[in-house]
Amino acid sequence: MNRRLAPMACLAASAILASCVTTKTTSYIPSPKNPTYTPAEGERALRGYVNLQCAPRKAAQRPDTGSGAFLVEIDTAGHATRAEVRRSTNDESLDGIFGTVAAQLTFAGDSTYVSAVKARQTAADIKFHCFADSASVSLKIGAHK
């Protein structure tokens, strides 16, 4: 190869390799306009939101069962400061609903979550299932690494 073309070929190869690696991180932050939820309250709220999504999901022939995983960052007082999607539901609407609620979680005053507050983060695994006239939702804290 011509000595003058070699650097250009390396640059082109680097650009091709760099363009092949793409990561997308989606995070949600708490809003003072939204309520805060204990994990149990969050699970109940999610059940209501998912229930509203079931009929449109069925009409669109989308799966009636799925899950998502989030990493929830926590401040020293025990309140979520950020929820990052770690495993998508493959549905932007559900990811948005799940992420918004996960970002509004509070673990303050609950001895069950002392280790999560000390670690300043915890996992949140959310599973859902749509039935004919209702939905079930499971919110597990500390469920994945």
CA 96 to chain centre: 8
Q: What is the residue range of 73's domain?
A: 25-141
Beta carbons within 10 angstroms of residue 79's beta carbon: 17
Share of the chain above pLDDT 70, in %: 84
Distance (Å, rounded) from C-alpha 73 to C-alpha 83? 6
Considering the domain boundaries, does residue 13 fall inside one? no
The domain total for the chain is 1
Considering the domain boundaries, does residue 5 fall inside one? no
Q: What is the pTM of this model?
A: 0.81
Averaged pLDDT, 68-82: 97
Distance (Å, rounded) from C-alpha 87 to C-alpha 73? 16
Query: What confidence score (pLDDT) does residue 23 get?
Result: 77
Q: Higher-confidence residue: 126 or 13? A: 126
Residue 76 pLDDT > 60: yes
Considering the domain boundaries, does residue 82 fall inside one? yes
Helix (H) or strand (E) holding 12: helix 6-20
Distance (Å, rounded) from C-alpha 19 to C-alpha 22? 7
Q: Higher-confidence residue: 130 or 8? A: 130
Considering the domain boundaries, does residue 89 fall inside one? yes
Residue 140 pLDDT > 60: yes
Considering the domain boundaries, does residue 124 fall inside one? yes
Considering the domain boundaries, does residue 7 fall inside one? no
Considering the domain boundaries, does residue 4 fall inside one? no
Q: Of the candidates 11, 51, 31, which has an alpha carbon nearest to the alpha carbon of residue 101?
A: 31
**100 and 92 Cβ atoms separated by less than 8 Å:** no
Considering the domain boundaries, does residue 63 fall inside one? yes
